[in-house]
């Protein structure tokens, strides 16, 4: 009996070992795709309307993680893209929002005034990954291959092209809506390659693109030109054609722009995803032609989801409502003035459910920062839409439930994340146009914002699915283990064994 059990165990171990990739084995290309503001349930919502060549191809032939969650707060674009590619959270990689305050100065997360635009003369090119404190998958890949690997990022948004590609990327391209051209910065190069200029010239001749103009992000056409740029980079850089594994990072942002404007339901959102499905199919065909079917490893995920419009919820007798940023700023300033005698405003901003205090103004008035934060916390807690509010530095001493406490702490980086974070009731959200019947947003811990799709496809990936809870931070270590390279420098995620051991 013992001998039989031993043989069974030995066979299982052998089969597992055979299923895993061997050292030295790597695909020709790694492709990362992020669909901005894509809820997990969209995979099923549009399932019957998707073509066989796009999303359904990934679902039907790849491996699906049906319970992938974001494990930090807030759930916003810059953080989501960074966390997926670093395997980390703001507490470690330092990217704490799309826009943050550093030393009381409001700044874009990828702002870098030491560089300039390449491809246009606008300030949209003053961008780089220098504010990112950790390495990415692409950085680790280049390190492992002594920088023979090529890594390229492409997106409509600067942060969605820059942070995924990482510090040592060969290039990152984003769309400058003022010049209606794909641009980069002097961080990467001094002139655009010919293949980028060809895409830009084609857009200049495209009547639909020119008609859309600076509002192209509000149209599905934006996803089409992103795909054009991604395929141009694939071919122009000869990705997947060298001895070392290359990486292409693609982010589709029009789904976020359209979602914010028209919400999670309706013709505009439907059109955005159905068009994206066709563009995705076109990208997959280009990968098959350029690299070869089965020769590339691909993952697709989202940076966050989105809540339904609160008026839509109330019309169907479901809970929901707005939380106005301007009202919060005034309420906190008034409370500090009344209780502590402040004569000047002490709140710089409210962003992503966080209060950014003006430390200089507080010090100048001789106020205690800790007391100001406590007044802000008490003020927020008395608001009807707010469930709880905590001082980031005192969060461990708060009565937050373990799940919320973990996400608050994972999202906090001193000096960048603000001072106080507040949690709203489900389907309540902070927005500047609460009267709109279509607008929506994201940023909270709830499943509608934090439950995202995660699909793996291609090289060494077998068809299957899991409902086990995994996290956005597990993507990077999974890819790195498949490639047999070191995890990014601040990685806290764990490899998804179901993907690796098949």
Q: What is d(CA 433, CA 85) in angstroms, rounded to the nearest whole number?
A: 33
- Measured CA to CA, the distance from residue 363 to residue 26 in angstroms comes to 55
Q: Which two tokens stand for residue 274?
A: 């159905």
Strand order in the sheet with 68-69: 451-452, 68-69, 470-471
Q: Could you tell me the two tokens for 88? A: 């980390």
Task: Say how far apart CA 199 and CA 36 lie, in whole Å.
Answer: 23
Using CA atoms, how far apart are residues 356 and 415, in angstroms rounded to an integer? 10
Tokens of 398: 């708060």
CA distance 68 to 77: 16
224 is an active site residue: no
Nearest to 64 by CA among 450, 491, 461: 461
Is the separation of the CB atoms in 170 and 141 below 8 Å?
no
Query: Hey, which bits of 148-295 come out as E strands?
Result: 151-155, 171-176, 181-185, 246-252
Residue 136 CB coordination number (10 Å): 34
Structure-block tokens of residue 4:
């039989």
Of the listed 21, 51, 75, 77, which one is catalytic?
A: 77
Residues 6+ apart with CB under 8 A from 9: none
Active site residues: 77
């Amino acid at each position: 009996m013992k001998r039989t059990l031993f043989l069974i165990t030995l066979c299982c171990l052998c089969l597992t070992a055979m299923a895993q990739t061997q050292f030295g084995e790597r695909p020709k290309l790694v492709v990362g795709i992020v669909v901005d503001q894509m809820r997990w349930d969209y995979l099923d919502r549009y399932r019957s309307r998707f073509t066989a060549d796009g999303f359904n191809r990934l679902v039907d032939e790849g491996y699906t993680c049906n319970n992938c969650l974001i494990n930090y707060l807030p759930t916003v674009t810059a953080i989501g893209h960074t966390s997926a590619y670093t395997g980390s959270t703001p507490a470690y990689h330092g990217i704490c929002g799309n826009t943050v305050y550093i030393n009381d100065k409001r700044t874009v997360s990828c702002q870098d005034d030491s560089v300039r635009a390449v491809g246009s003369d606008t300030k949209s090119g003053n961008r780089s990954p220098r504010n990112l404190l950790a390495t990415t998958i692409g950085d680790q890949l280049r390190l492992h291959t002594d920088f023979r690997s090529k890594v390229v990022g492409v997106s409509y948004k600067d942060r969605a092209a820059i942070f995924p590609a990482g510090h040592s990327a060969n290039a990152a391209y984003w769309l400058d809506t003022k010049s209606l051209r794909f641009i980069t910065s002097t961080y990467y190069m001094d002139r655009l390659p010919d293949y980028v200029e060809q895409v830009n010239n084609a857009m200049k001749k495209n009547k639909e693109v020119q008609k859309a103009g600076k509002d192209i992000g509000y149209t599905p056409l934006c996803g089409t030109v992103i795909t054009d740029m991604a395929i141009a980079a694939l071919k122009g850089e000869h990705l997947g054609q060298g001895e070392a594994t290359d990486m292409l990072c693609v982010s589709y942002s029009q789904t976020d722009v359209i979602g914010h404007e028209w919400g999670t339901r309706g013709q505009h959102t439907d059109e955005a995803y159905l068009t994206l499905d066709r563009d995705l199919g076109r990208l997959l065909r280009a990968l098959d032609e350029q690299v070869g079917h089965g020769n590339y490893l691909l993952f697709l995920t989202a940076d966050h989801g989105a809540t339904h419009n609160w008026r839509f919820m109330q019309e169907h007798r479901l809970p929901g409502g707005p939380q106005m940023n301007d009202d919060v700023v005034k309420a906190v300033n008034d409370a500090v003035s009344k209780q502590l005698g402040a004569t000047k405003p002490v709140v710089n901003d409210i962003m992503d459910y966080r209060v950014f205090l003006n430390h200089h103004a507080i010090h100048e008035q001789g106020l205690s920062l800790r007391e100001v934060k406590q007044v802000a916390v008490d003020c927020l807690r008395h608001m009807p839409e707010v469930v709880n509010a905590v001082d980031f530095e005192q969060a461990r001493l708060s009565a937050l439930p373990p799940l919320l406490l973990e996400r608050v702490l994972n999202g906090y980086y001193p000096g960048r994340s603000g001072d106080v974070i507040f949690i709203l009731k489900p389907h309540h959200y902070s927005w500047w146009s609460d009267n709109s019947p279509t607008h929506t947003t994201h940023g909270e811990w709830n499943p509608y914002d934090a439950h995202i799709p995660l699909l793996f496809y291609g090289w060494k990936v077998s068809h299957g699915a899991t409902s086990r809870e995994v996290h956005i931070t597990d993507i990077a270590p999974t890819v790195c283990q498949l490639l047999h390279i070191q995890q990014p420098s601040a990685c806290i995620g764990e490899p998804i064994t179901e993907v690796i051991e098949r």
